[in-house]
A and B are shown apart, each in its own frame.
Chain A
Amino acid sequence: MFDQMPNQTPETVRLLVNGVAVEMPAGSMVSAAILKTGATLFRRSLTGEPRGPLCGMGICFECRVTIDGEAHCRSCQTICRDGMDVHTDG
């Protein structure tokens, strides 16, 4: 009950960030994948300022991005999955 890992865990997963393919170790978060592609702007603030992750633990909501069409996902609390399609505010 304590361990909920799937039966087969691949070593790495591949996803798309703003159309750029990136490979991450299994278990990585989407926030790390985004930064790995060189993108640092995750969202635009109310007044249009660029923003990126701050707290890294799901509290600040600054790392929100669109994942598989769903807006406002906290990328620091979302584990990378194969084939994921991630978009930042750009």
Chain B
Amino acid sequence: MDRVRYECDVAVVGAGPAGLAAAFRAAREGRRVTVVDDNPDAGGQIWRGEKTKPRSPEARVWFERIRSVDIQLIAGARVFAQSGPGKLLAETPRDVCELAFQSLILATGARERFLPFPGWTLPCVMGAGGLQALVKNGLPIEGQKVVIAGSGPLLLAVAAYLRERGAELLLIAEQTSSLKLARFGLGLVSKSSQALDLRRRLKGVRYLTDCWVAAAHGYQELDHVTLYRGGKRWSVACDYLACGFHLVPNLELAELLGCDIRNGAVSVDEFQQTTVPGIYSAGESTGIGGLELSIVEGEIAGLSAAGNRDEATRLFSTRAKHRRFADLLNRTFALRDELKSLAQPDTIVCRCEDVVFDRLRAHDSWRAAKLQTRCGMGPCQGRICGSAVEFLFGWTPESVRPPILPVRVESLLSE
């Protein structure tokens, strides 16, 4: 099988806000830019579907900007390995691409953190962002009864989105305490217009803090959930449970390329450069921080990769402001220890290999558990259970090996 070859000055992996901002800045500096993304179209998770029909003002602005410069987008391409220095391999539904670059920007974003609880593997139990993505992708949600649970500001954004599409929101269960949330509220000053907007869109919806889903029940599919709050348990019948516990950075590609990871995020210097010279990272992959931080980090990475450090430096103060907000955000939505006792001995933790909690308890490291139980060795390669076992057992992830995603045999054999 022949490889399709692409050559550019700056390659960007990830076409979400950080990746697009980076691509725009580098292209405006006169660099040839190629962006690759696993999804069928640009926008990442937050701007999913907004390339053709922008809904948010930020998406409108950035898609306009990106169209004003010459950028090559390769969508539906999953990067799975490095074929040599300055070269990445990506698989598309049709072929294998080899992308040669001078510098690289990793804007691989984040995914939801999932915690195992009884019944979480039932159909119609999804991530909060997971259900939103499905609705953005054409799932009619009108009249469907939805419980939203977990932690983080994403729950509110998802709730507002689903409500506007006619979902019947039964309640939002937020695990963090009302005290922490009140302190966060005070820190929201810089974002008050967004907060007010959400409050308006969610008027009348029950939002319970210190509350979480203890179990989901149903035969073959979800029927109802058991909620827990302050020693009380009660059940709520619903069509969908949208449950995610804040976000965790996608680190696999950075790890594969040898970039240092610190505190669960890609370690970068003030110019967003990783510990590998010529490789930059921006957005949620460098730590969960939200849309504004992702955009400004992307701009700094794009300018730095293009060699314009002076212009990049001008954006440092904006980034510092958004980082302070991000720190507050992550402290506010830190997970409480009680959530560690949600999984029962027979609760599945690794969904790919059907490994239950009881089988993992016997081990003292990720490596031992993998070898003995195959936990984290299925198609998702620990992307779902990894952050769960880290929270439950304190195990840190293993080193990443190529291919970082399941690929076709012919992709591995391509030349």
Contacts and interface: CB of A to CB of B under 8 A. Distances in A.
A77 B383 contact: no
B123 interface: yes
A24 B39 CA distance: 19
B121 A59 contact: no
Contacts of A2: 42, 66-67, 71-73
B126 A61 contact: no
B95 to A, nearest CB: 15
B138 A25 contact: yes
A28 B354 contact: no
Contact of A76 (B111, B121, B132, B134): B134
Contact of A47 (B70, B133, B354): B354
B163 interface: no
B126 A51 contact: no
Interface in A41-88: 41-42, 45-47, 49-62, 64, 76-80
Interface string B374-393: 00001110011000000000
B127 A29 contact: no
B122 interface: yes
A58 B39 contact: yes
B39 A57 contact: yes
A49 B356 CA distance: 13
Contact of A33 (B67, B70, B138): B138
B229 interface: no
Interface centre among B39, B111, B138, B378 (most CB of A within 10 A): B138
Contacts of B380: 59-61
Interface residues of B, number: 52
Contacts of B348: 49
Given A46-B353, A50-B123, A60-B351, A55 B221 contact: no
B261 interface: no
Contacts of A60: 351, 380, 383-384
Given A50-B221, A54-B114, A4 B138 contact: no
B373 interface: no
Interface in B122-154: 122-127, 129-135, 137-140
Given A41-B221, A46-B354, A59 B138 contact: no
A59 to B, nearest CB: 5
Nearest to A29: B137
B208 interface: no
Contacts of A57: 39, 45, 111, 129-130, 133
A1 B71 contact: yes
Interface string B40-68: 10100100010110000000000000110
Given A2-B66, A47-B354, A49-B121, 18 more contacts: A1-B71, A27-B49, A29-B40, A36-B139, A40-B123, A40-B222, A46-B353, A50-B221, A51-B121, A52-B221, A55-B130, A56-B134, A59-B380, A61-B380, A64-B379, A76-B137, A77-B39, A80-B138
Interface of A: 1-5, 24-25, 27-29, 31-33, 35-36, 40-42, 45-47, 49-62, 64, 76-80
21 contacts: A1-B72, A2-B42, A2-B73, A29-B138, A40-B222, A41-B220, A42-B123, A47-B354, A50-B123, A52-B221, A55-B111, A56-B133, A56-B134, A57-B129, A59-B380, A59-B383, A59-B384, A60-B380, A61-B380, A62-B351, A64-B379
